[in-house]
Amino acid sequence: MDKLDQQLNDIFEGKVVRKDLLHRIKKGTNVPTFVLEFLLAKYCASDDPLEIDAGMEAVLATLQDNYVRPDEANAAQSKVATKGNYRFIDKVHVRYVEKEKRHWAALENFNSQRIAVSQQFYRDNDRMLEGGIWAEVTVAHNAIEEDDYAFYIEDLRPVQLSRFDFEAYAEGSEAFSRNEWIDIILRTVGLESTKLSPRQRLHYIARLAPLVEPNYNFIELGPRGTGKSYFFSEFSPYSTLVSGGQATKATLFYNNARGKVGLVGFWDTVAFDEVGGIKIKDPDTIQIMKDFMANGRFSRGVEIIADASLAFVGNIDMSVEQIVNSSQYDLFQPLPSQFDLAVMDRFACYLPGWEMPKNSSEYLTNSYGFITDYLAEAFHYAFQHTNRYEEVTKRIRLGSTVEGRDEKGIKKTVAAFLKILHPSTSPTDDEFEEYVAYAVESRRRIKEQMNKRKPDDEFAKINLSYVSAQGKEVIVYCPESKNALATQNPNRQNLEEAAASTTKDKPSQQREPVAVSQTTAPEAAFVSAQPVTLEEQHFTIYYGDTGHSYDSIFGPYLQGAKTITIEEPYIRVSHQIQNFVRFCETAVKSGSVKRIELTTSYDNETPLAEIQDKLNDLKQSLLEVDIVLDIQLNENLHDREIRLDNGWIIKIGRGLDFYQKPDSWFGIGVNDMSLRKCLETKVDIYRDD
């Protein structure tokens, strides 16, 4: 135990933990850091080696007995059934099922979606409803056969501190110098700061900025394996990580169909992992994102105000040196094509991930740090209850080239540094100037890339500067591009080229690749398909044909459609309902559909109650993605037709049911319908003029 360890233990007794103990446990489990440290603090709060060894055994035994692994879900259910109840450590989600007018809980690895839950649990822990929380949860068995559930939550204890005293935290920090406090913060996240350069230490502090500063827009792009997403996935229970996939208005911002705020209303930080793989098909999502990034508010029928910060992390598979010296490429290369200049201009900080060391045991600390959850609570308090922006405004002096969004981004970055490194005090002039220089550089990196993309001089003022305490104006450069003429003075298109270009906001789309890693293919997000010209079609699908899926037939014509009206009399048996589910999935992928109106038929042998249950399940899942499904019955319906409110009409002789039954349910074509053999039918697609 070194001097800093001893001092930390003396001042923050009971709130620190040896990080090497965490490393030893972490290698053998997939549990988040703050959960493991919750157990370490419970069983290993001692300096006695024998007590620590006994505590480690207790932690491992607890994980063995109480942590549910995905492949042991059936055994976990059996424990509850045979013993009456059992305590687990797992992530608990709660969802509201509209058709039943009640809430159901689910444990992430327990494999049951219908666990009864008392209102007190999700009322006191509302994040259970959005993303879920890790908890010690006691699940009990329900022996009443008449009930429609087998398990219920008997007790629940979130894995986080029950009380937090920010004043004591801030007062304790005053006993340490600024550099010592940096060491403590970095040791808390598991790193030994003495093995990092001063610049790298600031990079790691900057990674924490979205956790303390509201409405802070942060981006880090760099190589794989540098821990970009760790701080958002495991460090704090107040942040959530969106891992790729389709980012929708309903998920992120507001679900109109359910009248429910999305992730930005429940979390301090919403982070996007592998940002290049995010699929945003609805242009409204980008517009709402722009509004929210600008001022923390947006409107979707009602005005929503939220404080969540947005963090975007992703990989660069190209040589940074070649990018900055290229007139055709820029350091925003991995972003989805929908992220235009307006989105980029809202970033406050671009952290150069290529300067971060690769994850390695070489950088791990064996010293003491805060229990992760304790520091996360401090950051959460700072996020919600402290404001250092005005303090920065009174003290900072910026150069004349710093414009509106530059100034806001720089000030918010500095404010975040003050919250993290000076919880209750003010930095010295030298320390403050260090933060300002870092913030100006982080904003300049953004502006340089926008200036390379824009054919005019809108973002040409890239020589951002500040005025030092001695009254000297200091221009800040980005080290990677300081001597790169292609970045400092990019070539401009002439007016004719600019008018003819269809890719001025995404210059990468029609250019030759440079220095892509041989082991990794370029991101698919770099390529944007050319618009498809839709035409009327009249063709026949012959018996035994393959290559026909709902995506290929309907998908192109759904673009821009908001309402689908489908008349399909035969939605009666399981495979027909499954076909309709597949059709709805195609509608979801269009990104624009908001309503599906189904009219179907029945006869005396139709099991209406069973069909109603299945279609209600579909209706519920569509609501989750902000699509309303309306179902009408018409016993006289016979013809099949699909009408789109963008003017297209699609008629298929057999309706949706034109696939043959597979010869085996373990053969090719069972899941990929484009490989499934078809029955013969005619297809007519035309406009309703």
User: What pLDDT shows up at residue 244?
Assistant: 61
Which of 129-133, 138-142, 266-270, 414-418 is least confident? 129-133
User: What pLDDT shows up at residue 516?
Assistant: 33
How would you classify the pairing of strands 102-107 and 303-305? unpaired
User: What is the pLDDT averaged over residues 451-469?
Assistant: 93
Which of 13-17, 206-210, 304-308, 580-584 is least confident? 13-17
DSSP 263: G
Does the pLDDT of residue 525 top 90, yes or no?
Answer: no
**Distance separating alpha carbons of residues 47 and 29, to the nearest angstrom:** 24
pLDDT band at 662 (very low <50, low <70, confident <90, very high): confident
CA distances from 400 to 153, 464, 672 (A): 60, 8, 59
**Distance separating alpha carbons of residues 403 and 392, to the nearest angstrom:** 16
Q: Would you tell me how many other CB atoms lie within 10 Å of the CB of residue 79?
A: 19
Q: Give 118 or 33, the one with higher predicted confidence.
A: 118
Q: What share of the chain is helix, strand, coil (3-state, %, to 5)?
A: 40, 20, 40
Q: Which residues contact 517 (CB under 8 A, 6 or more apart)?
A: 317, 318
**Distance separating alpha carbons of residues 181 and 421, to the nearest angstrom:** 7
Q: Which of 118-122, 254-258, 411-415 has the highest mean pLDDT?
A: 411-415
Q: Would you tell me how many other CB atoms lie within 10 Å of the CB of residue 392?
A: 22
Rounded to the nearest integer, the mean pLDDT of the chain is 87
The dihedral sign for the CA sequence 13, 16, 21, 25: positive
Q: Would you tell me how many other CB atoms lie within 10 Å of the CB of residue 5?
A: 18
Give 541-557 pLDDT, tens digit per residue.
Answer: 888 888 999 999 999 99
Give 194-230 pLDDT, tens digit per residue.
Answer: 999 999 999 999 999 999 999 999 999 999 999 998 8
**Distance separating alpha carbons of residues 533 and 282, to the nearest angstrom:** 19
DSSP H/E element including 619: helix 608-623
**What phi, psi does 246 have (nearest 5°)?**
-90, 120
Cβ atoms of 560 and 283 closer than 8 Å = no
Please state whether the predicted TM-score (pTM) of the whole model is above 0.85. no
Q: Which residues contact 626 (CB under 8 A, 6 or more apart)?
A: 248, 249, 250, 255, 256, 257, 258, 594
User: What is the pLDDT averaged over residues 651-659?
Assistant: 92
**Distance separating alpha carbons of residues 631 and 564, to the nearest angstrom:** 12
Question: What are the structure tokens assigned to 564, written together?
Answer: 């689908």
User: What pLDDT shows up at residue 172?
Assistant: 97
Give 155-176 pLDDT, tens digit per residue.
Answer: 998 876 657 899 999 999 999 9
CA–chain centroid gap for 132, Å, is: 14
**CA torsion 537→542→545→550, rounded to 10°?**
40
C-alpha R_g of the chain: 28
**What phi, psi does 222 have (nearest 5°)?**
180, -170
Q: Give 498 or 138, the one with higher predicted confidence.
A: 138
Q: For residue 632, give the amino acid letter.
A: Q
Q: Which of 26-30, 406-410, 496-500 has the highest mean pLDDT?
A: 406-410
Does the pLDDT of residue 637 top 50, yes or no?
Answer: yes
CA distances from 63 to 26, 28, 90, 136, 468 (A): 11, 10, 10, 11, 53
pLDDT band at 650 (very low <50, low <70, confident <90, very high): very high
Q: Would you tell me how many other CB atoms lie within 10 Å of the CB of residue 300?
A: 17
Cβ atoms of 283 and 296 closer than 8 Å = no
**Distance separating alpha carbons of residues 289 and 345, to the nearest angstrom:** 12
Question: What are the structure tokens assigned to 57, written together?
Answer: 């055994």
CA–chain centroid gap for 619, Å, is: 25
269 beta partners = 239, 309
Does the pLDDT of residue 518 top 70, yes or no?
Answer: no
Give 326-341 pLDDT, tens digit per residue.
Answer: 988 999 999 998 899 9
- Please, how many CA atoms are within 13 Å of residue 308, restricted to the half-sphere of its CB? 28
CA distances from 480 to 29, 190, 323, 484, 655 (A): 38, 28, 10, 8, 59
**What phi, psi does 192 have (nearest 5°)?**
-95, 110
